[in-house]
Amino acid sequence: MNDAPSKHSVLLMDMGGPQTPAEVRPYLQRIFFDPYIIPGNPIKRWLLSQLIASKSAAETRERYAEIGGKSNAVPNAQKLGEQLKKHFADQGIELEYEVATRYSFPTIPQGLAKLSVKQKAPISAVYLYPHETSALTGSCVSVLNRAAKKQNSPIDYHVKNISRTPAYLQGWANAIKQAVKNPAETIIIFTAHSLPNSIIASGDRYVDEVEESVEKIKAMLGDVATDLAYQSQEGDDWLGPTAEEKAALARENGFKELIVAPLSFVGDNTETLLDIDKNLSNAIKPLGFERFHRITPPDQQGFLCEMVAEALAQEWNLESGS
């Protein structure tokens, strides 16, 4: 280890999610009032956010009801924080952490305020989105920087690209290799959460980052077919092709086994448990695949802590994240 602070504070951030049915509508309102999601006139954006939340609240409540009634984002991040504390304690580093969410609770200002009083140490912001995008990462950075200035708690490190760590790439590759039973008959469809095409057209690097991950993981897999799709579209003018379209093409090309690897998620949520395990699975049943399997994300596979630790070690200029 190089000469570096023996204490660090880490703020773990993601979108968050509702904890009760009553929180669903305000959660949706906050998402669609975000100028990084819907730019333009704030009055029109506020009206649109109210309309979207009103129309979508009932369906969204039903979706969360199917996975236990609430989001698991905060408890999963808290579990990660405890793992990181132990990981870095073994290297002689005293780590404190807090969880913060962009659209639910605790909020980013709340999380930063709690973290700042725990210990006097450099603060690292970790964005738990594997691929950087203005729609998510950029929005969090904006809110965090305003809160840091107001609270006089400067952010020393911004950790935005956990998908570039060896642990992320090798972890996904290992999980896929274990899942493949008959390589000649199998296709791997990598999926990433879709975004509005307007965001990508503005110069966002999200697609480039996703494709970079796919190419690096493909290089580790050997002789097995792969493809890339975007999932969980919420409108017509969103990134595609869809997972359903790619699955249909794969079956036309003679593949009998379909494995889905959702690269843009660090943990299970409605997009994996419902959009893949339920909706995609049901949609492809008529196609006649002999086997369908979905790879669980890094926290279930057990390499999320290693991913984040590697990214932090690089930012902190440690010799090794392991």
Q: E strands of 147-256, at which residues? A: 157-159, 186-193, 225-231
Between 3.40.50.1100, 3.40.50.1400, 3.30.2010.30, 3.40.640.10, what CATH number should domain 166-297 receive?
3.40.50.1400
Give the pair of three-digit tokens for residue 249.
Answer: 């093409």
Summarize the chain as % helix, strand, coil (round to 5): 50, 15, 30
What pLDDT shows up at residue 110?
98
What pLDDT shows up at residue 235?
84
**Edge-to-edge strand order for the sheet containing 225-231?**
225-231, 186-193, 257-262, 291-294
What pLDDT shows up at residue 16?
97
Phi, psi of 141 (to 5 degrees): -60, -45
User: What is d(CA 63, CA 113) in angstroms, rounded to the nearest whole number?
Assistant: 32
Phi, psi of 131 (to 5 degrees): -120, 130
CB 134 within 8 A of CB 199: yes
Q: Which of 73, 76, 126, 146 is nearest to 104 (CA)?
A: 73
What pLDDT shows up at residue 322?
43
CB 115 within 8 A of CB 183: no
Name the pTM for this structure.
0.94
263 to 97, 111, 131, 294, 295: CA distances (angstroms): 25, 27, 9, 11, 9
The per-residue DSSP string of 197-220 comes to HHHHHTT--HHHHHHHHHHHHHHH
pLDDT tens digit at each of 322 positions of the chain: 445 679 999 999 999 999 999 999 999 999 999 999 999 999 999 999 999 999 999 999 999 999 999 999 999 999 999 999 999 999 999 999 999 999 999 999 999 999 999 999 999 999 999 999 999 999 999 999 999 999 999 999 999 989 999 999 999 999 999 999 999 999 999 999 999 999 999 999 999 999 999 999 999 999 999 999 999 998 889 999 999 999 999 999 999 999 999 999 999 999 999 999 999 999 999 999 999 999 999 999 999 999 999 999 999 998 644 4
What pLDDT shows up at residue 3?
59
User: What is d(CA 166, CA 171) in angstroms, rounded to the nearest whole number?
Assistant: 8
Q: Which of 212, 238, 237 is nearest to 228 (CA)?
A: 212
Phi, psi of 143 (to 5 degrees): -65, -40
SS3 at position 102: coil
User: What is d(CA 151, CA 238) in angstroms, rounded to the nearest whole number?
Assistant: 37
**Strand pairing report for 225-231 and 186-193:** parallel
Within the chain, all domains assigned CATH 3.40.50.1400 are found at 166-297
Instruction: Tell me the pLDDT tens digit for each residue of 43-73.
Output: 999 999 999 999 999 999 999 999 999 999 9
